[in-house]
């Protein structure tokens, strides 16, 4: 089985990008091991701080962030980084030409109940003259990403990766910490019968989303003419992984709980990298009004409305927003 470094080499991945990906995986092996030890390593529970978005940080949010941050800071090609758990960007190496944006631990409400979590990353190209301590340095649209992916820490630890030439999956061998190629060119089925949305927010959605989900719930007796099943893991990595594996639609749409926030998920380290994976696998990723990757970013922590997954299902959802 081909290891990640040899796969990247065989596919002519630019050496700086390959180095960043290999470095990120060193961090993810470390995070995976910490998760395996769980309570034994004293890593569960809260850290006692809030991040810039007002979320209580779990110990493991902070630990994972520090692991990735230390790794990236030591890499000469990394100019700077932005993380969910860092209020401001962190400038790294003067001569680096790449920026890394990441969600060190996605689904952190799952940690204490021993359910799947993940790490999401997005890599952008920059120039040496940019000041990577300034948020503006990172505000490129998702279409500019040179690579994106996630590591899922579930029953096994899996990497889903794109460098703009399809999506490929790798499984971590726990004995060696190597990521080994499992599937090349993962494709999402165009049609499915599975949707994922947090139904408890229903009353806060726009009428268009209310109508669409009401029709999903009507199943074969409604206008969509087929019966749907629902899943919600509360970790975007797990939802997107399910979709990349067997199709489906995942939504965290705009809601009016807080009109200043256009959704819950963050554009730069959740929406964009997941959209690149979904589109590279033949799916579609939209805000409900425009492709997520075409949103012009204005803030490294900005939120975005998300509708992504199997292309035909996403198109049906979007058709409700055009009516």
Instruction: Give min distance, CB of 101 to ligand AHG, in A.
Output: 13
Helix segments in the chain, DSSP class H:
4-10, 15-37, 59-73, 207-218, 236-246, 272-280, 311-322
| Joined tokens for residue 97 | 């030409």
Please tell me whether residue 108 binds ligand AHG under the rule CB under 6 A.
yes
Residues paired with 161 in a beta bridge: 149, 168
Q: How far apart are CA 153 and CA 159, in angstroms?
A: 9
Residue (235 or 318) nearer to ligand AHG, CB: 235
| The token pair that represents 100 in the structure block | 């890394």
- How far apart are the C-alpha atoms of 160 and 232, rounded to whole Å? 20
| Distance of alpha carbon 236 from alpha carbon 278, whole angstroms | 12
Q: Using CB under 5 A, pick the residue from 16, 103, 239, 313 that binds Mn ion.
A: 103
The residue within the footprint of Mn ion, chosen from 67, 91, 106, 148 (CB under 5 A), is: 106
For Mn ion, give the closer residue by CB, 78 or 233. 233
275 counts as binding ligand AHG under rule CB under 6 A: no
| Residue 107 binds to ligand AHG (criterion: CB under 6 A) | yes
Q: How many Å apart are CA 249 and CA 313, to the nearest integer?
A: 7
Beta-bridge partners for 251: 307
Decide if residue 234 touches ligand AHG (CB under 6 A): yes
C-alpha to C-alpha distance for 166 and 246, rounded to whole angstroms: 16
Question: Minimum CB separation from Mn ion for residue 96, in Å?
Answer: 24
Say how many residues make up the chain: 323
Among 21, 98, 102, 106, binds ligand AHG (CB under 6 A): 106
**Two tokens at 247?**
């199709």
Question: Which range binds Mn ion by CB under 5 A, 70-78, 101-109, 137-145, 251-259?
Answer: 101-109
Residue 76 binding: pick among ligand AHG, Mn ion, none (C-beta 5-8 Å cut-off by kind): none
Q: Which does 30 bind (CB under 5 to 8 A by kind): Mn ion, ligand AHG, none?
A: none
- Binding annotation: 84, 103, 105-109, 198, 264, 270
Contact residues for ligand AHG, defined by CB under 6 A: 55, 84, 103, 106-109, 198, 234-236, 252, 264
Q: Under the rule (CB under 5 A), what is the footprint of Mn ion?
A: 55, 84, 103, 105-106
């Amino acid at each position: 089985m081909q290891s990640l470094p040899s796969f990247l080499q065989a596919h002519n991945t630019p050496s700086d990008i390959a180095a960043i990906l290999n470095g990120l995986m060193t961090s993810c092996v470390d995070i995976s091991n910490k998760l395996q030890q769980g309570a034994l390593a004293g890593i569960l529970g809260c850290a006692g701080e809030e991040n810039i978005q007002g979320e209580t940080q779990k110990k493991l949010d902070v630990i994972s962030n520090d692991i990735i941050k230390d790794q990236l800071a030591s890499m000469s090609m990394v100019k700077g980084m932005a993380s969910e758990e860092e209020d401001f960007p962190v400038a790294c190496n003067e001569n680096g030409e790449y920026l890394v944006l990441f969600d060190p631990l996605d689904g952190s409400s799952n940690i204490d109940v021993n359910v799947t979590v993940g790490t999401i990353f997005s890599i952008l190209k920059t120039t040496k003259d940019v000041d990577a301590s300034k948020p503006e340095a990172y505000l490129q649209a998702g279409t500019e990403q040179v690579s994106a992916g996630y590591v899922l820490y579930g029953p096994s630890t899996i990497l889903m990766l794109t460098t703009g030439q399809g999506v490929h999956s790798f499984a971590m061998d726990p004995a060696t910490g190597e990521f080994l190629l499992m599937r090349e060119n993962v494709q999402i089925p165009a049609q499915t019968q599975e949707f994922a949305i947090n139904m408890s927010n229903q009353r806060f959605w726009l009428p268009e989303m209310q109508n669409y989900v009401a029709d999903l719930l009507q199943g074969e007796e409604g206008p969509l003419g087929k019966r749907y099943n629902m899943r919600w893991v509360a970790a975007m990595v797990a939802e997107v992984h399910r979709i990349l594996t067997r199709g489906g639609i995942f939504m965290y749409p705009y809601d009016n709980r807080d009109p200043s926030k256009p959704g819950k998920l963050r554009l730069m380290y959740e929406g964009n990298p997941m959209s690149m994976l979904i589109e590279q696998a033949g799916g579609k990723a939209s805000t409900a009004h425009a492709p997520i990757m075409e949103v012009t970013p204005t803030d490294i922590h900005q939120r975005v409305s998300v509708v992504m997954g199997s292309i035909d299902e996403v198109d049906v959802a979007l058709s409700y927003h055009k009516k």
